[in-house]
Amino acid sequence: MYTLFKAFFLNWYQRSTLLSDAQLAEWLSTSEILEQDHFGIKVVRLTNGDILKIFRVKRTFSSANFFSYARSFCRNEKRLHQLAIPTIQVKQLFHLNSDHKSAVLYSPLEGVTVRELFTRHELTTEHAHKLGAFMAGLHDLGIYFRGLHSGNIVLTPAGQFGLIDISEMTIFPWRLERRRRKRNFARYWRNAAEAENFGLSNIKVLISAYCAASQRVHMQEADVARYLFRQ
Protein backbone atom coordinates (compact mmCIF):
# COMPACT_ATOMS: atom_id res chain seq x y z
CA MET A 1 0.00 0.00 0.00
CA TYR A 2 2.82 2.39 0.93
CA THR A 3 4.64 1.64 -2.34
CA LEU A 4 1.51 2.42 -4.37
CA PHE A 5 0.94 5.66 -2.46
CA LYS A 6 4.57 6.69 -2.93
CA ALA A 7 4.41 5.99 -6.67
CA PHE A 8 1.19 8.01 -6.95
CA PHE A 9 2.69 10.92 -4.96
CA LEU A 10 5.88 11.03 -7.03
CA ASN A 11 3.84 10.97 -10.24
CA TRP A 12 1.62 13.80 -8.98
CA TYR A 13 4.16 15.96 -7.14
CA GLN A 14 7.38 17.21 -8.72
CA ARG A 15 10.23 18.71 -6.73
CA SER A 16 11.29 22.25 -7.58
CA THR A 17 14.72 23.89 -7.51
CA LEU A 18 15.50 27.43 -6.37
CA LEU A 19 16.27 29.70 -9.32
CA SER A 20 18.61 32.32 -7.88
CA ASP A 21 18.21 36.00 -8.68
CA ALA A 22 21.69 35.98 -10.24
CA GLN A 23 20.92 33.05 -12.57
CA LEU A 24 17.57 34.56 -13.55
CA ALA A 25 19.18 37.94 -14.28
CA GLU A 26 21.87 36.26 -16.41
CA TRP A 27 19.29 34.33 -18.44
CA LEU A 28 17.08 37.37 -18.95
CA SER A 29 20.02 39.55 -20.05
CA THR A 30 21.00 37.20 -22.89
CA SER A 31 17.63 35.77 -23.96
CA GLU A 32 14.99 36.74 -26.51
CA ILE A 33 11.79 38.05 -24.95
CA LEU A 34 8.78 36.23 -26.41
CA GLU A 35 6.04 37.54 -24.12
CA GLN A 36 5.66 40.19 -21.44
CA ASP A 37 2.99 42.36 -19.83
CA HIS A 38 2.84 45.27 -17.39
CA PHE A 39 3.82 42.89 -14.57
CA GLY A 40 7.07 42.01 -16.35
CA ILE A 41 8.66 39.36 -18.56
CA LYS A 42 6.63 36.14 -18.94
CA VAL A 43 8.38 33.99 -21.57
CA VAL A 44 11.92 34.07 -22.98
CA ARG A 45 13.96 31.93 -25.37
CA LEU A 46 17.45 31.16 -24.04
CA THR A 47 20.53 31.11 -26.26
CA ASN A 48 20.41 27.30 -26.47
CA GLY A 49 16.81 27.35 -27.72
CA ASP A 50 15.15 26.31 -24.46
CA ILE A 51 12.17 28.28 -23.17
CA LEU A 52 11.83 29.78 -19.68
CA LYS A 53 8.25 30.56 -18.65
CA ILE A 54 7.72 32.66 -15.50
CA PHE A 55 4.48 32.48 -13.54
CA ARG A 56 3.17 35.08 -11.08
CA VAL A 57 0.37 34.81 -8.54
CA LYS A 58 -1.55 38.06 -8.93
CA ARG A 59 -4.20 37.51 -6.24
CA THR A 60 -3.61 37.41 -2.49
CA PHE A 61 -5.89 34.42 -2.02
CA SER A 62 -5.23 31.83 -4.71
CA SER A 63 -4.80 28.07 -4.84
CA ALA A 64 -1.56 28.78 -6.77
CA ASN A 65 -0.01 29.81 -3.44
CA PHE A 66 -0.16 26.12 -2.47
CA PHE A 67 0.12 24.41 -5.88
CA SER A 68 1.92 26.79 -8.22
CA TYR A 69 0.97 27.50 -11.82
CA ALA A 70 4.38 26.19 -12.85
CA ARG A 71 3.71 22.92 -11.03
CA SER A 72 0.32 22.60 -12.77
CA PHE A 73 2.10 23.22 -16.09
CA CYS A 74 4.52 20.37 -15.35
CA ARG A 75 1.69 18.06 -14.31
CA ASN A 76 -0.13 18.77 -17.59
CA GLU A 77 3.04 18.04 -19.56
CA LYS A 78 3.49 14.70 -17.82
CA ARG A 79 -0.15 13.67 -18.37
CA LEU A 80 -0.05 14.64 -22.05
CA HIS A 81 3.04 12.50 -22.60
CA GLN A 82 1.32 9.61 -20.81
CA LEU A 83 -1.62 10.04 -23.20
CA ALA A 84 0.76 10.11 -26.23
CA ILE A 85 -0.09 13.73 -27.12
CA PRO A 86 2.98 15.54 -28.53
CA THR A 87 3.92 18.52 -26.36
CA ILE A 88 6.87 20.38 -24.88
CA GLN A 89 9.51 18.61 -22.76
CA VAL A 90 9.96 19.97 -19.22
CA LYS A 91 13.57 20.12 -18.06
CA GLN A 92 13.25 21.79 -14.65
CA LEU A 93 10.64 23.21 -12.31
CA PHE A 94 11.80 26.27 -10.33
CA HIS A 95 10.65 28.35 -7.40
CA LEU A 96 11.97 31.90 -7.05
CA ASN A 97 12.93 33.97 -4.03
CA SER A 98 9.65 35.83 -4.40
CA ASP A 99 6.80 33.92 -2.76
CA HIS A 100 4.58 34.72 -5.72
CA LYS A 101 6.79 33.49 -8.56
CA SER A 102 7.62 30.11 -10.06
CA ALA A 103 9.08 29.08 -13.41
CA VAL A 104 9.52 26.20 -15.82
CA LEU A 105 12.42 25.50 -18.17
CA TYR A 106 11.47 23.38 -21.16
CA SER A 107 12.37 22.35 -24.68
CA PRO A 108 9.85 23.62 -27.25
CA LEU A 109 7.79 21.34 -29.49
CA GLU A 110 9.25 21.45 -32.98
CA GLY A 111 6.94 22.35 -35.85
CA VAL A 112 4.65 25.11 -37.09
CA THR A 113 1.46 26.34 -35.47
CA VAL A 114 -1.90 26.11 -37.21
CA ARG A 115 -1.96 29.91 -37.19
CA GLU A 116 1.32 29.98 -39.11
CA LEU A 117 -0.07 27.48 -41.61
CA PHE A 118 -3.10 29.54 -42.57
CA THR A 119 -1.17 32.84 -42.37
CA ARG A 120 1.24 31.42 -44.97
CA HIS A 121 -1.69 30.04 -46.99
CA GLU A 122 -0.28 26.54 -46.47
CA LEU A 123 -3.29 25.05 -44.67
CA THR A 124 -4.77 22.20 -46.71
CA THR A 125 -8.01 20.26 -46.57
CA GLU A 126 -6.03 17.31 -45.23
CA HIS A 127 -4.71 19.49 -42.39
CA ALA A 128 -8.25 20.60 -41.53
CA HIS A 129 -9.47 16.98 -41.51
CA LYS A 130 -6.62 15.80 -39.29
CA LEU A 131 -7.12 18.77 -36.97
CA GLY A 132 -10.80 17.93 -36.50
CA ALA A 133 -9.94 14.32 -35.65
CA PHE A 134 -7.18 15.53 -33.30
CA MET A 135 -9.57 17.80 -31.40
CA ALA A 136 -12.08 14.94 -31.10
CA GLY A 137 -9.29 12.75 -29.72
CA LEU A 138 -8.43 15.36 -27.08
CA HIS A 139 -12.04 15.53 -25.93
CA ASP A 140 -12.41 11.75 -25.93
CA LEU A 141 -9.33 11.56 -23.68
CA GLY A 142 -10.93 14.02 -21.24
CA ILE A 143 -8.64 16.93 -22.14
CA TYR A 144 -10.31 20.31 -21.66
CA PHE A 145 -7.79 22.87 -22.91
CA ARG A 146 -9.13 26.34 -22.12
CA GLY A 147 -6.20 27.86 -24.03
CA LEU A 148 -7.13 25.99 -27.20
CA HIS A 149 -6.53 28.21 -30.24
CA SER A 150 -4.63 28.06 -33.51
CA GLY A 151 -1.46 29.48 -31.95
CA ASN A 152 -1.28 26.67 -29.38
CA ILE A 153 -1.65 23.71 -31.77
CA VAL A 154 1.54 22.65 -33.55
CA LEU A 155 1.98 20.47 -36.63
CA THR A 156 5.19 18.53 -35.95
CA PRO A 157 7.74 17.41 -38.59
CA ALA A 158 6.31 13.89 -38.12
CA GLY A 159 2.90 15.13 -39.32
CA GLN A 160 1.21 14.92 -35.90
CA PHE A 161 -0.60 17.69 -34.11
CA GLY A 162 0.55 18.61 -30.60
CA LEU A 163 -0.07 21.22 -27.90
CA ILE A 164 1.99 24.06 -26.44
CA ASP A 165 1.38 26.71 -23.75
CA ILE A 166 -0.43 24.08 -21.72
CA SER A 167 -1.15 26.06 -18.53
CA GLU A 168 -4.93 26.38 -18.80
CA MET A 169 -5.86 22.73 -18.92
CA THR A 170 -7.90 20.19 -16.99
CA ILE A 171 -7.61 16.48 -17.79
CA PHE A 172 -10.61 14.48 -16.62
CA PRO A 173 -10.62 10.67 -16.24
CA TRP A 174 -13.66 10.52 -18.55
CA ARG A 175 -14.67 11.78 -21.99
CA LEU A 176 -15.79 15.39 -22.12
CA GLU A 177 -19.53 15.85 -22.14
CA ARG A 178 -21.28 17.62 -25.00
CA ARG A 179 -21.53 20.95 -23.15
CA ARG A 180 -17.77 21.30 -22.61
CA ARG A 181 -17.04 20.18 -26.18
CA LYS A 182 -19.28 22.89 -27.60
CA ARG A 183 -17.77 25.49 -25.28
CA ASN A 184 -14.26 24.49 -26.34
CA PHE A 185 -15.24 24.78 -29.99
CA ALA A 186 -16.72 28.23 -29.40
CA ARG A 187 -13.51 29.39 -27.67
CA TYR A 188 -11.35 28.10 -30.53
CA TRP A 189 -12.57 30.75 -32.94
CA ARG A 190 -13.42 33.63 -30.63
CA ASN A 191 -11.34 35.75 -33.01
CA ALA A 192 -13.55 36.29 -36.07
CA ALA A 193 -10.55 37.28 -38.22
CA GLU A 194 -8.87 33.94 -37.51
CA ALA A 195 -12.01 32.05 -38.46
CA GLU A 196 -12.12 33.99 -41.71
CA ASN A 197 -8.44 33.29 -42.44
CA PHE A 198 -8.90 29.60 -41.66
CA GLY A 199 -11.54 29.51 -44.37
CA LEU A 200 -15.18 28.43 -44.27
CA SER A 201 -14.55 25.35 -46.43
CA ASN A 202 -11.77 24.19 -44.09
CA ILE A 203 -13.96 24.83 -41.04
CA LYS A 204 -16.68 22.64 -42.56
CA VAL A 205 -14.11 19.87 -43.16
CA LEU A 206 -12.84 20.20 -39.58
CA ILE A 207 -16.34 20.00 -38.10
CA SER A 208 -17.23 16.99 -40.23
CA ALA A 209 -14.01 15.18 -39.23
CA TYR A 210 -14.55 16.04 -35.56
CA CYS A 211 -18.10 14.67 -35.50
CA ALA A 212 -17.05 11.53 -37.36
CA ALA A 213 -14.17 10.86 -34.96
CA SER A 214 -16.00 11.56 -31.67
CA GLN A 215 -16.54 8.38 -29.67
CA ARG A 216 -19.80 7.71 -27.83
CA VAL A 217 -20.70 11.42 -27.74
CA HIS A 218 -22.92 12.02 -30.75
CA MET A 219 -22.26 15.48 -32.20
CA GLN A 220 -24.37 16.96 -34.97
CA GLU A 221 -22.41 19.10 -37.43
CA ALA A 222 -25.07 21.81 -37.49
CA ASP A 223 -25.12 21.88 -33.69
CA VAL A 224 -21.35 22.30 -33.45
CA ALA A 225 -21.39 25.00 -36.13
CA ARG A 226 -24.10 26.95 -34.30
CA TYR A 227 -22.01 27.08 -31.13
CA LEU A 228 -18.91 27.88 -33.17
CA PHE A 229 -20.39 30.96 -34.79
CA ARG A 230 -22.77 32.09 -32.06
CA GLN A 231 -20.72 35.23 -31.52
- Binned at pLDDT 50, 70 and 90, residue 148 comes out as confident
| pLDDT per position as a tens digit, 106-123 | 999 999 999 999 999 999
Tens digit of each residue's pLDDT (9 = 90 or more) over 14-66: 677 888 889 999 999 999 999 888 888 899 999 999 999 999 875 444 444 44
Closest CA to 206 of 127, 147, 114: 127
Q: Is the dihedral of CA 198, 202, 203, 207 positive or negative?
A: negative
* Confidence at 183, pLDDT banded by 50, 70, 90: confident
Q: Give CATH 3.30.200.20 domain extents, the chain.
A: 10-107
CA distance 114 to 68: 29
Mean pLDDT for 200-224 is: 77
Q: Which of 78-92, 165-179, 192-206 has the lowest mean pLDDT?
A: 192-206
Return the minimum-mean-pLDDT range out of 82-91, 148-157, 207-216. Answer: 207-216
Given phi > 0 = left and psi -120 to 50 = alpha, else beta, which region is 19?
beta
Q: Which fold has domain 112-228?
A: Transferase(Phosphotransferase); domain 1 (1.10.510)
Q: Which of 86-90, 157-161, 191-195, 220-224 has the lowest mean pLDDT?
A: 220-224
- Residue 147: predicted pLDDT: 85
> Which of 20-34, 55-69, 129-143, 193-207 comes out lowest in average pLDDT?
55-69
Q: Looking at residue 228, what is its pLDDT?
A: 54
CATH topology of domain 10-107: Phosphorylase Kinase; domain 1 (3.30.200)
Q: Higher pLDDT residue, 63 or 184?
A: 184
Where are the CATH 1.10.510.10 domain residues in the chain? 112-228
